Amino acid sequence: MKRCLFAALAGSFLVLAGCSGNDGSSGFDGGSEIGRSMSPVDSSMASPAVAPSPEGGDPLRDQAQPAAERKEVVTGQIFVTTPDPIQASRDAAALVEQAGGRVDNRTENAETDYSAASSSLTARIPAEDLTGTVDRISALGEVTSINLTRDDVTMQYRDLDARTAALQSSVDRLRALIAEATNTADLIEAESALSSRQGELDSLVSQRNYLADQVELSTITVQFDTDEATPVRGPDNFFDGVVAGWNSLIDAVQDGVVNLGRAIPWLGALTIGAGIVYGLVRIIRRKPGSANDTDTADDTDTADSTEPDAKTEAERDSS
């Protein structure tokens, strides 16, 4: 009995040892198989980091490419001092047209006795030639102030593009449905939807075209002025002083006459108003006086009528 038990235990031990050996060998083989299968994956994952692009371009340059597609709206103001502002404005307009732009507005003010000459223009300059054109305009005189503002509208531009493309696809599908419509109800519904989508599409296209125009052509306002004040020569001798004094006297008299002419209507209106007020005051004062006179006359008549009665009573008493 003991021998049988010992033999059974020994057999169990051998079976367990064999199973553990098989598990270890299978685990090792599996590990080696995983290692062999992982090595190609690792090499394939590592290869893009060092492999050049098919076109042979630089990865950093390819990443910087989207930055060059930025959409910017440039606006600005330039103030230039020049001896001849009007001629400078005309030269600036010619420079803008040579650059492929246009002038939307131009104003010229000639020199007068009270103001110096000046001019201004609003130019639309192509964005790619903005810097060179601004430099050429600045060379027409002395720049006293310059202000350029860049507004990034890239996201707005892309959003309009995406919405326009989506609406265009919707319009195309609706047109296909209209072409394949088999009954009147479907046709009317599709045409109504097409009309609404087409209106939205036209609005988006208009907004996109306006934004594209703002991006392609920068808006620059240029103001030309002169530092020289209007020349006013003073008297050089006694006779010139007398003439200048006489002229100033005449100017003063003329100004006084003009001011008097302006004041006459006011004086007439004030006189009429004063007369009306005076008449009202006289009427108001007259009414209480007449009432008092009437009361006094009544009192006098009453006293006169009562006096004989008093005398009659006194005579009766004496008799």
Q: Assess contact for 146 and 76: CB atoms under 8 A.
A: yes
Specify the 3-state DSSP secondary structure of 5. Answer: helix
* Residue 48, pLDDT above cutoff 50: no
Q: What is the CA radius of gyration of the chain?
A: 53
Please write the tens of the pLDDT for every residue from 197-249.
889 999 999 999 999 999 999 999 999 998 754 445 566 777 778 888 888 88
The alpha carbon dihedral of 251, 253, 254, 259 has a sign of positive
More confident residue, 217 or 39: 217
Q: What is the mean pLDDT of the chain?
A: 75
Distance CA 137, CA 96 (A): 9
pLDDT given for residue 256 in this prediction: 86
Distance CA 178, CA 182 (A): 9
pLDDT given for residue 211 in this prediction: 92
Distance CA 96, CA 82 (A): 18
Q: How many residues does the chain have?
A: 319
Please write the tens of the pLDDT for every residue from 106-161.
999 988 877 889 999 999 999 999 999 999 999 999 999 999 999 999 999 899 99
Q: What percent of the chain clears pLDDT 90, i.e. is strictly above it?
A: 34
Q: Which residue has the tokens 């235990």?
A: 9
Give this prediction's pTM: 0.48
Residue 217: partners with Cβ closer than 8 Å, 6 or more residues away: 101, 102, 124, 125, 126, 127
Instruction: Please report, for residues 65, 103, 272, the alpha-carbon distance to residue 263 in angstroms, rounded to integers and kept in the order given.
Output: 75, 48, 14
Q: Assign 304 a pLDDT band (cuts: 50, 70, 90).
A: low
Distance CA 164, CA 205 (A): 7
pLDDT given for residue 287 in this prediction: 66
Q: What percent of the chain clears pLDDT 70, i.e. is strictly above it?
A: 66
Q: Give the residue-averaged pLDDT of 41-62.
A: 40
